[in-house]
């Protein structure tokens, strides 16, 4: 993590905002008539995406958070998803939308949606801003995806590299200065 790297912009803040507007029109159509949608953000990576998403959603909602971690400070998935913080509220009989920043191997969202499904929500849907289908290890697809991306190490807009760069307003790709280590 102390190797030198630069960050190249991959998806601009403007492109993300435009995509969120389109996604929200689809989510509103799906959940129209709901009395209360519970929007669940997966900490920590989704915190920027969920903030922009809920402000664009014209639906009655509550917001809750769940923390699941598979990566820690490494670049490699542990494939063992830990629930570090559970939801505050019950989801039984409610409409639930799980919000995630990125689906990589699929272990995190697969595990979390199975867990929440076991609590018998009325409807359970998921949305991920980014999807790296080439990295999938379990058969999982979010109901909505912002952007499909190639297998690049991305940061920003909530996504970290060793806990850094979450505050970048765009999605960038990490390029290591050490050529031997870059893809």
- Residue 38's binding partner among Mg ion, Mn ion, ligand PRP, none (Cβ under 5 to 8 angstroms by kind) is none
CB of 44 to ligand PRP, least distance (A): 4
CB of 159 to ligand PRP, least distance (A): 6
Of 25 and 114, which CB lies nearer to ligand PRP in the complex structure?
A: 114
**Binding map of Mn ion across residues 18-47, x = CB under 5 A, - = no contact:** ---------------------------x--
Buried b (16+ CB within 10 A) or exposed e, 20-51: beebbeebeebbeebeebbbbbbebbbbbbbe
Q: Report strand pairing: 5-11 vs 171-176.
A: antiparallel
Q: Report strand pairing: 61-69 vs 82-85.
A: antiparallel
Q: Name, in order, each residue with C-beta under 8 angstroms of 15's C-beta and a sequence gap of 6 or more.
A: none
**Binding map of ligand PRP across residues 145-164, x = CB under 6 A, - = no contact:** ---------------x----
Residues 146 and 92: their CA atoms lie apart, in Å, by: 27
CB of 70 to ligand PRP, least distance (A): 4
State which H helix or E strand residue 31 sits in.
helix 13-31
Cβ atoms of 111 and 68 closer than 8 Å: yes
Examine the residue annotation and report whether 104 is marked as an active-site residue of this protein: yes
Residues 114 and 90: their CA atoms lie apart, in Å, by: 15
35, 104, 131, 151: which one is catalytic? Answer: 104
Binder among 5, 47, 71, 176 for Mg ion (CB under 5 A): 71
**Binding map of ligand PRP across residues 21-60, x = CB under 6 A, - = no contact:** ---------------------xxxx---------------
Q: Is 172 in the site for Mn ion (CB under 5 A)?
A: no
Determine the 3-state secondary structure of 35 from DSSP: coil
Cβ neighbours, 10 Å, residue 84 = 11
- Residues engaged in binding ligand PRP (CB under 6 A): 42-45, 69-71, 77, 100-108, 160
Which residues are known catalytic residues?
104
- Residues engaged in binding Mg ion (CB under 5 A): 71, 160
């Amino acid at each position: 993590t102390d190797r030198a790297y630069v960050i190249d912009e991959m998806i601009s803040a403007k492109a993300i905002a435009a995509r969120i507007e389109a996604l929200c029109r689809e989510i509103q159509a799906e959940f129209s008539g709901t009395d209360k949608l519970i929007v669940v953000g997966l900490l920590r990576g989704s915190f920027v995406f969920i903030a922009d998403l809920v402000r664009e959603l014209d639906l009655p909602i509550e917001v809750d958070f769940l923390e699941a971690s598979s990566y820690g400070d490494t670049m490699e998935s542990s494939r063992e998803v830990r629930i570090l913080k559970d939801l505050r509220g019950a989801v039984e009989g409610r409409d639930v939308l799980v919000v995630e920043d990125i689906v990589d191997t699929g272990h995190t969202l697969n595990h979390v949606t199975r867990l929440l499904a076991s609590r018998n929500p009325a409807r359970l849907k998921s949305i991920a801003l980014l999807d790296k289908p080439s990295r999938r290890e379990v058969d999982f697809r979010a109901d909505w995806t912002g952007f499909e991306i190639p297998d690049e190490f991305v940061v920003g807009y909530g996504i970290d590299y060793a806990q850094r760069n979450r505050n970048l307003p765009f999605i960038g790709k990490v390029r290591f200065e050490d050529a031997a280590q870059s893809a």
